[in-house]
Amino acid sequence: MTDRRKLLVTSALPYANGSIHIGHLVEYLQTDIWVRYMRACGHDCLYFCADDAHGAPIMLRAESEGVTAEQLVARIGEEHRADFADFGIEFSNYYSTHSEENRLLASDIYQRLEQAGHIKNYPVAQAYDGEKGMFLADRYIRGGCPRCGAEDQYGDNCEVCGATYGAMELIEPRSVLTGSVPETRESEHYFFHLEDFQGFLAEWTRRGHLDDQVSNKIQEWFEGGLRDWDISRDEPYFGFRIPGTDNKYFYVWLDAPVGYIASYWNWLKQHQGDVTLEQLREQWAEREIHHFIGKDILYFHALFWPAMLKGAGYRTPEKVNVHGFLMVNGEKMSKSRGTFIQARTYLDHLDPEYLRYYFAAKLSNGVDDLDLNLDDFVQKVNSDLVGKMVNIASRSAGYIYKKMGGELAPALENPQLYAEFVQAGEDIGKAYEAREYSKVCRQVMALADRANQYLAELAPWSLAKQEGTEQQVAAIYSQAINLFRVLATYLSPILPVLAANSQEFLGLKQLDWVDLQTPLLSHRINKFKPLMQRVEPEAVAKMVAETRD
């Protein structure tokens, strides 16, 4: 057992403007599996997240629904919590960026940066909707592409020819909100001077805080020069007012990552009572910070965030772990094809443990996209989990329960084989920590194949037909039960429900990696109940049909 580490782990904050879909779940399942493994190793590992609850899109959606922004984010937050819980994702605390803790923290970090000379302000020209009375982000302006002439394109890039441009360069630009023609107005904005941290970031991004593939990508941005980051937005805006201003608000991307610390602060208050900002900073500094994010928000987490923390005197992340996007059947998720699947739609039709396993079997520590092939999904879950793993327990338990009164044999039939299974845990553990879950699944299924081969070669069901073989047969089946216990323990971070049901079947208080050193001998197990059902292709088809509707 290694020294006990104090870890603080986060996933990127889901935006409180819509439902969780299976593309989001790649990240939360990846993080949850890592956290569960680290806890299984005995580390003090806390997992925090929150709803990203600010910004113009939330303000405008709330307005269109006739509710307040606070009411909208509260409703979406409850939905998110329910979806995560039903997928077995266990946060230490799930909070909201629209909280007093986050307001105080965002203001503290901003003021520390300002006092250190890292904040500038100067006027910028922006598109303005006079009818709506607000400045428009690029997504709220559409028109013809100035390069190829394609109609109805967004204000920053053309989906037809791929050109990028300024919103006011569009042919006949119009506001999505009112249909009016935007005008150009100037407004004073506040900027974080990122270039001040060029030296720090050049070293930080090369010091193991990012995987090599990601670090190499970051270097491209250094070559282009680090630019000032606009951290302000004009009212009307749903968010926190910038200290010392009347009508300026923090851009959502400033206070969103601060929400990691705010969620931790809220957790500390729940467990320690009144915790001051100074005490929070001290406790934040005592933990290794590990972020899990998608590659689309790398710039914010690998440049802006560590620079903000460094400039404000907060501990910077130990590691930023980056994953790719989810494809379904080799293509981007699509409503028309029925592959833009909401988390709740999936849960209405299929066991969440199926998806936990399938994603794990596809996930490495790289940033390549992963593909959910629905036919392969059915075949792999049924083959690996039902056909290989659960099969070991189901074909062995009956004899032990009926013929041996539920008590395992006093000795293993093949102690060496059991020792090899236990020894494999060292490499499996290393793969977990490195986020090489696909390697974990391959190694565990290779062991499952060996266990099934062991049973096939000794054929205890045939041996049982002979006189005087009861003890020998019991030893073989007891061996198989012990091998199953090892496999269930190794997969417990990925399949917590299967692990809990296996634990009950085995009559154990816990499935602990350390306990595997001692096999279960003369130990009473419980009557076997099905641990996992096969995936029915019809259920997958119904899910796709409902999504398409």
pLDDT digits (tens, 9 = 90+) for 262-293: 999 999 999 999 999 999 999 999 999 999 99
Find the mean pLDDT for residues 74-88. 98
Same domain, 106 and 129: no
Same domain, 434 and 490: yes
The model's confidence at residue 156, banded by pLDDT at 50, 70 and 90, is: confident
Instruction: Write the DSSP assignment of 216-254 as a string of letters.
Output: HHHHHHHHT-PPPEE-EEESS-SSPBPTT-SSEEE-HHH
Same domain, 183 and 201: no
Same domain, 112 and 136: no
Neighbours of 303 (CB within 10 A): 21
Q: Is residue 221 part of a domain?
A: yes
pLDDT tens-digit map of 342-374? 999 999 999 999 999 999 999 999 999 999 999
Same domain, 174 and 126: yes
The model's confidence at residue 297, banded by pLDDT at 50, 70 and 90, is: very high
pLDDT tens-digit map of 222-270? 988 899 999 999 999 999 999 999 999 999 999 999 999 999 999 999 9
Same domain, 438 and 464: yes
Instruction: Write the DSSP assignment of 330-355 as a string of letters.
Output: TB---TTTT---BHHHHHHHS-HHHH
Same domain, 182 and 205: no
Contact 190, 151 (CB under 8 A): no
Find the mean pLDDT for residues 371-395. 97
Rounded Cα gap, residues 10 and 292, in angstroms? 6
Please tell me the predicted confidence (pLDDT) of residue 351: 98
Whether the predicted pLDDT of 2 surpasses 80:
no
Q: Which two tokens stand for residue 382?
A: 């049924």
Rounded Cα gap, residues 423 and 417, in angstroms? 10
Same domain, 179 and 255: no
Q: What percent of the chain has pLDDT over 70?
A: 100
- Whole-number average pLDDT of the chain: 96
Whether the predicted pLDDT of 1 surpasses 50:
no
Same domain, 283 and 313: yes
Domain limits for position 123: 119-191
Same domain, 65 and 131: no
Query: Which CATH number covers residue 491?
Result: 1.10.730.10
The domain boundary residue, chosen from 323, 341, 358: 323
**Helix axes of 391-403 and 470-490: crossing angle, nearest 10 degrees:** 140
Closest residue by Cα to residue 301 from 311, 312, 313, 291 = 291
Rounded Cα gap, residues 485 and 478, in angstroms? 11
Number of domains in the chain: 3
Same domain, 111 and 206: yes
Could you tell me the sign of the dihedral formed by the alpha carbons of 52, 57, 60, 66, in that order?
negative
Same domain, 260 and 302: yes
The reply to whether the predicted model has a pTM over 0.85 is yes
The model's confidence at residue 166, banded by pLDDT at 50, 70 and 90, is: confident
